[in-house]
Amino acid sequence: MELFDVYPLYPIEPVKALGSKLWDKNGTEYLDLYGGHAVISIGHSHPTYVERVTTQIQKIGFYSNAVENSLQKELALKMGQISGYYDYSLFLCSTGAEANENALKLASFHTGRKKIIAVENAFHGRTSGAVAATHNPKIIAPFNADHEVAFVPMNDLEALELAFSDEVAGFIVEGIQGVAGLYTPSNQFLKKAKSLCEAHGAIFILDEVQSGSGRTGKFFAHQHANIRPDIVTLAKGMGNGFPVACVFISPKIEPWHGMLGTTFGGNHLACAAALAVLEVISKEELMKNAKDLGEYAMQQLSEIEQVKEVRGKGLMIGAEFDFPVAELRKKLLFEHKIFTGSAANKNTLRLLPSLSVTKEELDQFFKALKKELNK
Protein backbone atom coordinates (compact mmCIF):
# COMPACT_ATOMS: atom_id res chain seq x y z
CA MET A 1 0.00 0.00 0.00
CA GLU A 2 1.15 3.55 -0.78
CA LEU A 3 0.49 6.62 1.34
CA PHE A 4 -2.43 8.82 0.28
CA ASP A 5 -0.47 11.63 -1.32
CA VAL A 6 -1.82 14.81 0.27
CA TYR A 7 1.33 16.34 1.71
CA PRO A 8 4.08 17.94 -0.39
CA LEU A 9 7.26 16.61 1.24
CA TYR A 10 10.73 17.99 1.75
CA PRO A 11 13.35 15.32 0.97
CA ILE A 12 14.53 15.30 4.59
CA GLU A 13 13.83 12.64 7.19
CA PRO A 14 14.52 13.64 10.78
CA VAL A 15 15.37 10.56 12.82
CA LYS A 16 16.55 12.14 16.07
CA ALA A 17 15.74 15.33 17.94
CA LEU A 18 16.70 17.16 21.12
CA GLY A 19 15.65 20.63 22.26
CA SER A 20 15.56 22.83 19.15
CA LYS A 21 17.78 20.50 17.10
CA LEU A 22 16.91 17.77 14.61
CA TRP A 23 19.19 15.28 12.87
CA ASP A 24 18.42 13.50 9.61
CA LYS A 25 19.42 9.94 8.74
CA ASN A 26 22.78 11.14 7.40
CA GLY A 27 23.59 12.82 10.70
CA THR A 28 23.09 16.36 9.35
CA GLU A 29 21.98 18.76 12.08
CA TYR A 30 19.03 21.17 11.64
CA LEU A 31 17.74 24.04 13.75
CA ASP A 32 13.99 23.72 14.26
CA LEU A 33 12.26 27.11 14.48
CA TYR A 34 8.87 25.77 13.49
CA GLY A 35 8.19 22.75 15.74
CA GLY A 36 5.75 21.15 13.28
CA HIS A 37 3.24 24.05 13.48
CA ALA A 38 3.83 25.09 17.13
CA VAL A 39 3.59 21.53 18.45
CA ILE A 40 7.03 21.41 20.06
CA SER A 41 6.52 23.58 23.14
CA ILE A 42 9.13 22.38 25.65
CA GLY A 43 11.73 21.16 23.13
CA HIS A 44 12.10 17.82 21.38
CA SER A 45 12.59 14.74 23.58
CA HIS A 46 12.86 16.72 26.81
CA PRO A 47 14.21 14.32 29.50
CA THR A 48 11.25 14.97 31.89
CA TYR A 49 8.81 14.26 29.06
CA VAL A 50 10.62 11.11 27.92
CA GLU A 51 10.77 9.84 31.50
CA ARG A 52 7.07 10.44 32.24
CA VAL A 53 5.81 8.94 28.99
CA THR A 54 8.05 5.86 29.13
CA THR A 55 7.27 5.24 32.82
CA GLN A 56 3.55 5.53 32.08
CA ILE A 57 3.53 3.11 29.13
CA GLN A 58 5.21 0.52 31.35
CA LYS A 59 2.24 0.78 33.75
CA ILE A 60 -0.84 1.40 31.58
CA GLY A 61 -1.19 3.32 28.31
CA PHE A 62 -4.92 3.29 27.71
CA TYR A 63 -8.26 2.25 29.05
CA SER A 64 -11.70 3.63 28.30
CA ASN A 65 -13.37 6.77 29.61
CA ALA A 66 -15.89 4.51 31.39
CA VAL A 67 -13.49 3.99 34.31
CA GLU A 68 -11.79 6.30 36.82
CA ASN A 69 -8.54 7.89 35.64
CA SER A 70 -6.78 9.97 38.28
CA LEU A 71 -4.28 11.31 35.71
CA GLN A 72 -7.18 13.18 34.06
CA LYS A 73 -8.12 14.74 37.40
CA GLU A 74 -4.51 15.74 38.05
CA LEU A 75 -4.31 17.28 34.57
CA ALA A 76 -7.54 19.27 35.10
CA LEU A 77 -6.19 20.58 38.42
CA LYS A 78 -2.82 21.60 36.92
CA MET A 79 -4.48 23.17 33.84
CA GLY A 80 -6.63 25.26 36.18
CA GLN A 81 -3.58 26.34 38.19
CA ILE A 82 -1.35 27.30 35.27
CA SER A 83 -4.11 29.16 33.36
CA GLY A 84 -6.04 30.71 36.26
CA TYR A 85 -9.25 29.05 34.99
CA TYR A 86 -9.75 27.23 38.32
CA ASP A 87 -13.54 27.18 38.14
CA TYR A 88 -13.80 25.88 34.53
CA SER A 89 -13.97 22.18 33.71
CA LEU A 90 -11.90 20.23 31.24
CA PHE A 91 -12.96 17.97 28.36
CA LEU A 92 -10.08 15.96 26.90
CA CYS A 93 -9.81 14.94 23.25
CA SER A 94 -7.04 14.38 20.71
CA THR A 95 -6.79 17.10 18.03
CA GLY A 96 -7.39 20.80 17.56
CA ALA A 97 -10.26 20.29 15.12
CA GLU A 98 -11.91 17.90 17.55
CA ALA A 99 -11.57 20.42 20.37
CA ASN A 100 -13.23 23.09 18.19
CA GLU A 101 -15.97 20.67 17.07
CA ASN A 102 -16.79 20.08 20.70
CA ALA A 103 -16.67 23.80 21.49
CA LEU A 104 -19.15 24.58 18.67
CA LYS A 105 -21.33 21.67 19.74
CA LEU A 106 -21.36 22.94 23.34
CA ALA A 107 -22.35 26.43 22.20
CA SER A 108 -25.18 24.92 20.18
CA PHE A 109 -26.31 22.56 22.96
CA HIS A 110 -26.26 25.36 25.53
CA THR A 111 -28.23 27.87 23.45
CA GLY A 112 -30.35 25.52 21.33
CA ARG A 113 -29.19 27.56 18.29
CA LYS A 114 -27.11 26.69 15.20
CA LYS A 115 -25.70 29.98 13.95
CA ILE A 116 -21.99 30.67 14.49
CA ILE A 117 -20.02 33.84 13.88
CA ALA A 118 -16.37 33.39 12.87
CA VAL A 119 -13.61 35.69 11.60
CA GLU A 120 -12.52 35.99 7.95
CA ASN A 121 -9.44 33.91 7.04
CA ALA A 122 -9.84 31.90 10.25
CA PHE A 123 -8.57 28.33 10.45
CA HIS A 124 -10.25 26.08 13.01
CA GLY A 125 -9.64 22.60 11.58
CA ARG A 126 -10.71 20.13 8.94
CA THR A 127 -13.64 18.20 10.43
CA SER A 128 -17.18 19.08 9.37
CA GLY A 129 -18.32 21.44 12.12
CA ALA A 130 -14.96 23.13 12.47
CA VAL A 131 -14.47 23.30 8.73
CA ALA A 132 -17.72 25.23 8.42
CA ALA A 133 -16.13 27.89 10.58
CA THR A 134 -12.91 27.73 8.58
CA HIS A 135 -12.53 30.39 5.88
CA ASN A 136 -10.91 28.24 3.21
CA PRO A 137 -13.23 27.10 0.37
CA LYS A 138 -10.76 24.40 -0.73
CA ILE A 139 -11.52 22.19 2.22
CA ILE A 140 -15.25 22.81 2.61
CA ALA A 141 -17.28 19.79 1.38
CA PRO A 142 -20.96 20.09 0.29
CA PHE A 143 -22.19 18.46 3.51
CA ASN A 144 -20.92 21.45 5.42
CA ALA A 145 -23.55 23.61 3.70
CA ASP A 146 -26.12 23.06 6.44
CA HIS A 147 -24.03 24.82 9.04
CA GLU A 148 -24.84 28.50 9.35
CA VAL A 149 -21.65 30.51 9.67
CA ALA A 150 -21.30 34.27 9.24
CA PHE A 151 -17.78 35.62 8.74
CA VAL A 152 -16.78 39.07 9.94
CA PRO A 153 -13.52 40.87 9.10
CA MET A 154 -10.94 40.75 11.88
CA ASN A 155 -11.18 43.75 14.22
CA ASP A 156 -14.25 45.24 12.50
CA LEU A 157 -16.40 46.23 15.49
CA GLU A 158 -19.32 47.43 13.39
CA ALA A 159 -19.50 44.24 11.30
CA LEU A 160 -19.35 42.19 14.48
CA GLU A 161 -22.24 44.09 16.03
CA LEU A 162 -24.29 43.75 12.82
CA ALA A 163 -23.66 39.99 12.65
CA PHE A 164 -25.02 39.37 16.17
CA SER A 165 -28.65 38.52 16.95
CA ASP A 166 -30.54 36.37 19.43
CA GLU A 167 -30.13 33.46 16.97
CA VAL A 168 -26.36 33.25 17.43
CA ALA A 169 -25.10 30.20 19.31
CA GLY A 170 -21.49 31.30 19.50
CA PHE A 171 -18.64 33.44 18.28
CA ILE A 172 -15.26 31.77 17.61
CA VAL A 173 -11.91 33.52 17.15
CA GLU A 174 -8.25 32.42 17.25
CA GLY A 175 -6.05 33.86 20.02
CA ILE A 176 -3.75 34.86 17.13
CA GLN A 177 -4.56 33.73 13.57
CA GLY A 178 -1.72 31.33 12.79
CA VAL A 179 -2.35 29.81 9.38
CA ALA A 180 -3.65 33.12 7.94
CA GLY A 181 -0.41 34.95 8.77
CA LEU A 182 -0.31 36.06 12.40
CA TYR A 183 -3.19 38.51 12.64
CA THR A 184 -4.19 39.34 16.22
CA PRO A 185 -7.68 40.27 17.44
CA SER A 186 -7.46 43.69 19.11
CA ASN A 187 -8.35 44.07 22.80
CA GLN A 188 -11.31 46.20 21.71
CA PHE A 189 -12.56 43.51 19.31
CA LEU A 190 -12.34 40.83 21.99
CA LYS A 191 -14.05 43.02 24.58
CA LYS A 192 -16.82 43.87 22.11
CA ALA A 193 -17.27 40.17 21.30
CA LYS A 194 -17.52 39.39 25.00
CA SER A 195 -20.22 42.01 25.60
CA LEU A 196 -22.18 41.04 22.46
CA CYS A 197 -22.10 37.36 23.49
CA GLU A 198 -23.40 38.34 26.94
CA ALA A 199 -26.11 40.62 25.53
CA HIS A 200 -27.38 37.96 23.10
CA GLY A 201 -26.93 34.88 25.29
CA ALA A 202 -24.27 33.46 22.92
CA ILE A 203 -21.13 31.51 23.82
CA PHE A 204 -17.72 33.15 23.36
CA ILE A 205 -15.13 30.62 22.10
CA LEU A 206 -11.39 31.28 21.97
CA ASP A 207 -9.41 28.91 19.74
CA GLU A 208 -5.99 28.74 21.40
CA VAL A 209 -5.03 25.52 19.61
CA GLN A 210 -1.90 27.16 18.18
CA SER A 211 -1.47 30.25 20.38
CA GLY A 212 -1.92 28.51 23.77
CA SER A 213 0.40 26.54 26.08
CA GLY A 214 2.41 29.65 26.99
CA ARG A 215 3.58 30.46 23.46
CA THR A 216 2.78 34.19 23.65
CA GLY A 217 4.26 34.71 27.11
CA LYS A 218 0.95 34.08 28.91
CA PHE A 219 -0.72 30.67 29.04
CA PHE A 220 -3.36 31.87 26.54
CA ALA A 221 -2.96 34.70 24.02
CA HIS A 222 -6.36 36.20 24.94
CA GLN A 223 -5.10 36.75 28.50
CA HIS A 224 -3.13 39.74 27.19
CA ALA A 225 -6.54 41.37 26.54
CA ASN A 226 -7.82 40.59 30.03
CA ILE A 227 -11.05 38.93 28.88
CA ARG A 228 -12.59 35.59 29.89
CA PRO A 229 -14.28 33.57 27.15
CA ASP A 230 -16.87 30.88 27.95
CA ILE A 231 -14.88 28.18 26.14
CA VAL A 232 -11.18 27.88 25.28
CA THR A 233 -9.69 25.17 23.06
CA LEU A 234 -6.08 23.96 23.25
CA ALA A 235 -4.05 21.35 21.31
CA LYS A 236 -0.67 21.41 19.48
CA GLY A 237 1.83 22.47 22.19
CA MET A 238 -0.21 20.77 24.90
CA GLY A 239 1.39 17.38 24.25
CA ASN A 240 4.77 18.40 22.71
CA GLY A 241 4.11 15.88 19.91
CA PHE A 242 1.73 13.50 21.65
CA PRO A 243 -1.76 13.96 20.10
CA VAL A 244 -3.75 15.49 22.94
CA ALA A 245 -6.19 18.40 23.02
CA CYS A 246 -8.79 19.84 25.36
CA VAL A 247 -11.68 22.22 25.91
CA PHE A 248 -11.90 24.57 28.92
CA ILE A 249 -15.61 24.96 29.74
CA SER A 250 -17.24 27.70 31.84
CA PRO A 251 -19.29 26.61 34.87
CA LYS A 252 -22.36 28.17 33.22
CA ILE A 253 -22.45 25.27 30.74
CA GLU A 254 -24.05 22.22 32.38
CA PRO A 255 -22.79 18.79 31.32
CA TRP A 256 -24.99 15.74 30.93
CA HIS A 257 -23.85 12.17 30.38
CA GLY A 258 -23.35 11.47 26.70
CA MET A 259 -23.22 15.17 25.76
CA LEU A 260 -19.63 14.81 24.47
CA GLY A 261 -17.38 11.81 24.07
CA THR A 262 -14.33 10.36 22.37
CA THR A 263 -12.43 7.08 22.57
CA PHE A 264 -8.86 8.29 22.89
CA GLY A 265 -9.39 11.57 24.75
CA GLY A 266 -7.50 11.77 28.04
CA ASN A 267 -5.90 8.32 27.82
CA HIS A 268 -3.13 7.62 30.33
CA LEU A 269 -0.28 8.27 27.91
CA ALA A 270 -1.81 11.53 26.65
CA CYS A 271 -2.23 12.74 30.24
CA ALA A 272 1.36 11.79 31.13
CA ALA A 273 2.63 13.77 28.13
CA ALA A 274 0.47 16.81 28.91
CA LEU A 275 1.44 16.74 32.61
CA ALA A 276 5.13 16.62 31.69
CA VAL A 277 4.65 19.66 29.43
CA LEU A 278 2.99 21.69 32.21
CA GLU A 279 5.70 20.67 34.69
CA VAL A 280 8.51 21.77 32.35
CA ILE A 281 6.76 25.05 31.39
CA SER A 282 6.54 25.94 35.11
CA LYS A 283 9.93 24.65 36.29
CA GLU A 284 11.91 26.18 33.43
CA GLU A 285 9.85 29.41 33.34
CA LEU A 286 9.23 28.92 29.64
CA MET A 287 6.50 31.56 29.43
CA LYS A 288 9.06 34.14 30.53
CA ASN A 289 11.53 32.84 27.96
CA ALA A 290 8.79 33.05 25.29
CA LYS A 291 8.11 36.67 26.22
CA ASP A 292 11.77 37.75 26.44
CA LEU A 293 13.07 35.93 23.36
CA GLY A 294 9.92 36.80 21.43
CA GLU A 295 10.57 40.48 22.05
CA TYR A 296 14.22 40.00 21.04
CA ALA A 297 13.33 38.17 17.82
CA MET A 298 10.65 40.69 16.84
CA GLN A 299 13.03 43.57 17.44
CA GLN A 300 15.74 41.93 15.30
CA LEU A 301 13.24 41.27 12.51
CA SER A 302 11.90 44.81 12.55
CA GLU A 303 15.43 46.12 11.87
CA ILE A 304 15.69 44.18 8.59
CA GLU A 305 15.10 46.40 5.57
CA GLN A 306 13.13 43.83 3.54
CA VAL A 307 10.72 43.14 6.43
CA LYS A 308 7.56 45.25 5.99
CA GLU A 309 5.80 44.23 9.16
CA VAL A 310 6.39 41.99 12.18
CA ARG A 311 3.24 40.49 13.69
CA GLY A 312 2.44 38.18 16.60
CA LYS A 313 3.40 37.92 20.24
CA GLY A 314 6.01 36.00 22.22
CA LEU A 315 7.31 33.08 20.18
CA MET A 316 4.40 33.14 17.71
CA ILE A 317 5.91 35.42 15.08
CA GLY A 318 5.15 36.38 11.50
CA ALA A 319 7.58 38.50 9.49
CA GLU A 320 6.03 39.94 6.35
CA PHE A 321 8.58 40.53 3.60
CA ASP A 322 8.16 42.62 0.47
CA PHE A 323 8.31 39.43 -1.67
CA PRO A 324 6.98 35.80 -1.48
CA VAL A 325 9.14 33.84 0.98
CA ALA A 326 9.00 30.32 -0.52
CA GLU A 327 12.49 30.55 -2.11
CA LEU A 328 13.99 32.18 0.97
CA ARG A 329 12.62 29.39 3.17
CA LYS A 330 14.14 26.78 0.85
CA LYS A 331 17.53 28.51 1.07
CA LEU A 332 17.27 28.63 4.87
CA LEU A 333 16.43 24.94 4.97
CA PHE A 334 18.80 23.47 2.38
CA GLU A 335 21.78 25.80 2.69
CA HIS A 336 21.58 26.84 6.33
CA LYS A 337 19.73 23.80 7.75
CA ILE A 338 17.03 25.84 9.47
CA PHE A 339 13.33 24.94 9.52
CA THR A 340 10.91 27.89 9.34
CA GLY A 341 7.22 28.08 8.45
CA SER A 342 4.96 29.73 5.90
CA ALA A 343 1.42 31.15 6.06
CA ALA A 344 -1.55 31.63 3.72
CA ASN A 345 -0.19 35.13 3.19
CA LYS A 346 2.68 34.13 0.88
CA ASN A 347 4.97 36.99 1.96
CA THR A 348 4.88 35.90 5.60
CA LEU A 349 7.59 33.77 7.19
CA ARG A 350 6.35 32.08 10.35
CA LEU A 351 8.49 31.34 13.39
CA LEU A 352 7.11 28.97 16.03
CA PRO A 353 10.20 27.72 17.87
CA SER A 354 10.22 25.71 21.07
CA LEU A 355 9.54 27.92 24.10
CA SER A 356 12.98 26.83 25.32
CA VAL A 357 14.82 28.23 22.28
CA THR A 358 17.98 30.16 23.16
CA LYS A 359 19.28 33.57 22.03
CA GLU A 360 22.23 31.79 20.37
CA GLU A 361 19.85 29.65 18.31
CA LEU A 362 17.87 32.72 17.23
CA ASP A 363 21.13 34.50 16.35
CA GLN A 364 22.10 31.52 14.17
CA PHE A 365 18.85 32.15 12.25
CA PHE A 366 19.40 35.92 11.97
CA LYS A 367 22.92 35.41 10.66
CA ALA A 368 21.66 33.03 7.97
CA LEU A 369 18.70 35.24 7.11
CA LYS A 370 20.85 38.34 6.67
CA LYS A 371 23.34 36.42 4.56
CA GLU A 372 20.55 35.31 2.20
CA LEU A 373 18.93 38.74 2.03
CA ASN A 374 22.22 40.44 1.23
CA LYS A 375 23.20 38.07 -1.60
Contacts to ligand PLP by CB under 6 A: 37, 95-97, 100, 123-125, 174, 178-179, 207, 209-210, 235
Q: Please report how close the Cβ of residue 351 comes to ligand PLP at its closest, in angstroms.
A: 15
Give the residue among 37, 18, 15, 22 at the shortest CA–CA distance from 338: 22
Q: Please report how close the Cβ of residue 303 comes to ligand PLP at its closest, in angstroms.
A: 28
Q: Please report how close the Cβ of residue 96 comes to ligand PLP at its closest, in angstroms.
A: 2
Q: Tell me whether residue 178 or residue 318 sits nearer to ligand PLP (CB atom).
A: 178
Q: Please report how close the Cβ of residue 98 comes to ligand PLP at its closest, in angstroms.
A: 7
Residue 347 identity (one-letter amino acid): N
Q: Please report how close the Cβ of residue 126 comes to ligand PLP at its closest, in angstroms.
A: 6
Q: Tell me whether residue 328 or residue 344 sits nearer to ligand PLP (CB atom).
A: 344
CA distances from 313 to 118, 175, 200, 242, 317 (A): 22, 10, 31, 25, 6
> For ligand PLP, which residue has the nearest CB?
96
CA 63 to chain CA centroid, nearest Å: 27
Q: Tell me whether residue 100 or residue 111 sits nearer to ligand PLP (CB atom).
A: 100
Give the residue among 12, 19, 55, 27 at the shortest CA–CA distance from 276: 55
Q: Please report how close the Cβ of residue 256 comes to ligand PLP at its closest, in angstroms.
A: 26
Q: What b/e sequence results for 14-53 when a residue is b if at least 16 CB atoms lie within 10 Å of its CB, and e otherwise? A: beebebbbbeeeeeeebbbbbbebbbbbbbbebeebeebb
Q: At what angle do helices 326-334 and 359-373 cross, to 10 degrees?
A: 120
- Beta carbons within 8 Å of 178's beta carbon, 6+ residues apart: 37, 38, 123, 210, 211, 316, 343, 350, 352
Q: Tell me whether residue 83 or residue 210 sits nearer to ligand PLP (CB atom).
A: 210
Q: Tell me whether residue 36 or residue 80 sits nearer to ligand PLP (CB atom).
A: 36
Q: Tell me whether residue 179 or residue 276 sits nearer to ligand PLP (CB atom).
A: 179
